[in-house]
């Protein structure tokens, strides 16, 4: 079942800045869909349009079968958003933040208390429930914002760089939580700059560059499409230590053999590494970086 559908979406801000152009994709129920791109590529614009916070200027987008422009009221009760750089109110406790968001979402007081406890326990916030938000670490504050979005038990969750500022364990607990949500049927769209995060989480990913689709597919397809099955790093020969290592991308067994033979002949250290999403990302958007630099 298709939960999000985007057709030739475009956005030009009132000042004339073109943020998105001709972007199309769809997201199936229960998927984690990652939006990747450099700063200013249009990720947040796209997420905000789908979360009914920003009007598109071209194309169409629908969430749960409802058009974001024509029927936002039909979408909003079923979604939740974790905005980029959201912060809790410093003089409120985590418990109060979450409880108030439960009440805002239309839950009764009893339901709200029960839900607040459940979400706080799930996210490891219960022991911090009565502290002031100002006394929480950056990671706990971010977890609190995520918890505020989670209270709604949304069918579609939009997260804009949700793990920024979290320590490795905090990130993993968020990943686990997101997987749990999708297991229950939720659909997740998230933007991130952490490519390892996208590699682990994404069922599908969209790489946007200067507002346009640079890649759409799975992580494996991203690596495959760019010819990156493997990377070979050939260290400089002895006595030439200041030279940078060669990074090669062989595409056939013959090419690999040739590199190995050369390494043995020149007595150079050779390391084989599987290509990462980061390699693919740099390959995909790298062209535009070079064009910008010239």
Partner 1 sequence: MLLVVISLFSFLPVIFIFVFADQKSAMQSLVGAIVLTFSFTGLFASQSVYFNKQWFRFQDMLVASKVSPASYAVGLSISGLVVALPGVSVALVLLLLSGPTTALGVLLLLTTSLLLWIGLVFVGFAIGATTKNARRANSIPQVLSIALGFLPPVYYPLDRLPAIAQPIAMLIPTTHAAQLAKYYFHLIDIPASQVAIGWGYLLGFAALMGFIASRRAHWVDP
In angstroms, give the least distance from the CB of 87 to partner 1: 5
> Which of the residues 158 through 217 are near partner 1 (CB under 8 A)?
158
| 77 touches partner 1 (CB under 8 A) | yes
Site track 222-241 with partner 1 (rule: CB under 8 A), x = hit? --------------------
Site track 5-44 with partner 1 (rule: CB under 8 A), x = hit? ---------x------------------------------
Under 8 Å CB-to-CB from 115, ≥6 apart: which residues?
102, 107, 151
Q: Considering Cα of 214, then 216, then 220, then 224, what sign does the dihedral take?
A: negative
Question: Contact, 3 vs 156, CB < 8 A?
Answer: yes
Give the interface size with partner 1 as a residue count (CB under 8 A): 29
The residue from 18, 30, 54, 216 that contacts partner 1 (CB under 8 A) is: 54
Binding span for partner 1 by CB under 8 A among 46-54, 187-195, 211-219, 227-235:
46-54
Nearest-angstrom CA–CA distance, 225 and 251: 12
DSSP 151-216: TT--SEEEEESTTTT--HHHHHHHHHHHHHHHHTT-EEEEE-S-HHHHHHH-SEEEEEETTEEEEE
Please tell me what DSSP assigns to residue 42: S
Tell which residue, 50, 54, 84, 81, has the closest CA to residue 67. Answer: 50
In angstroms, give the least distance from the CB of 208 to partner 1: 19
Binding span for partner 1 by CB under 8 A among 77-85, 167-175, 242-250, 281-289:
77-85
In angstroms, give the least distance from the CB of 158 to partner 1: 7
In angstroms, give the least distance from the CB of 207 to partner 1: 24
> Which of the residues 129 through 158 are near partner 1 (CB under 8 A)?
148-149, 152, 158
Residue with tokens 């597919």: 217
Cβ nearer to partner 1, comparing 34 with 82: 82
Question: Contact, 281 vs 223, CB < 8 A?
Answer: no
The residue from 2, 8, 28, 55 that contacts partner 1 (CB under 8 A) is: 55
In angstroms, give the least distance from the CB of 30 to partner 1: 20
Binding span for partner 1 by CB under 8 A among 72-80, 163-171, 201-209, 245-253:
72-80
In angstroms, give the least distance from the CB of 238 to partner 1: 55
> Which of the residues 78 through 107 are near partner 1 (CB under 8 A)?
79-89, 101, 104-106
Question: Contact, 213 vs 25, CB < 8 A?
Answer: yes
**C-alpha distance from residue 188 to each of 33, 85, 174, 202 (Å):** 6, 18, 12, 9
In angstroms, give the least distance from the CB of 240 to partner 1: 52
Under 8 Å CB-to-CB from 19, ≥6 apart: which residues?
11, 12, 13, 42, 45, 211
The three-state secondary structure class of 57 is coil
Please report, as ranges, the residues that interact with partner 1 according to CB under 8 A. Answer: 14, 48, 51-55, 72, 76-77, 79-89, 101, 104-106, 148-149, 152, 158
């Amino acid at each position: 079942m298709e939960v999000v559908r985007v057709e030739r979406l475009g956005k030009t801000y009132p000042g004339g800045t073109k943020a998105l152009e001709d972007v199309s994709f769809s997201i199936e129920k229960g998927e984690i869909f990652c939006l990747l791109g450099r700063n200013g590529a249009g990720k947040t614009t796209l997420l905000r349009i789908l979360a009914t916070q920003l009007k598109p200027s071209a194309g169409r987008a629908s969430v749960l079968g409802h058009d974001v422009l024509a029927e936002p009221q039909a979408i909003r009760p079923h979604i939740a958003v974790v905005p980029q750089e959201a912060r809790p109110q410093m003089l409120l406790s985590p418990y109060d933040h979450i409880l108030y968001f439960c009440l805002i979402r239309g839950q009764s007081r009893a339901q709200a208390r029960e839900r607040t406890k459940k979400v706080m326990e799930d996210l490891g916030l219960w022991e911090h429930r009565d502290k002031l938000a100002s006394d929480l670490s950056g990671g706990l504050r971010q977890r609190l914002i995520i918890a505020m979005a989670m209270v709604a038990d949304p069918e579609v969750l939009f997260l804009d760089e949700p793990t920024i500022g979290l320590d490795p364990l905090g990130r993993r607990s968020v990943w686990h939580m997101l997987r749990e949500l999708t297991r229950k049927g939720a659909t997740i769209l998230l933007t991130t700059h952490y490519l390892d995060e996208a590699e682990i989480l994404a069922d599908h990913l969209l790489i946007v560059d200067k507002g346009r689709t640079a890649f759409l597919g799975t992580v494996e397809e991203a690596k495959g499409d760019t010819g990156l099955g493997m990377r070979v790093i050939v260290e400089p020969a002895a006595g030439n230590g200041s030279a940078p290592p060669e990074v090669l991308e062989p595409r056939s067994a013959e090419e690999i053999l040739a590199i190995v033979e050369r390494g043995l002949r020149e007595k150079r250290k050779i390391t084989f590494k599987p290509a990462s999403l980061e390699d693919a990302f740099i390959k995909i958007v790298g062209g535009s970086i070079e064009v910008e630099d010239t």
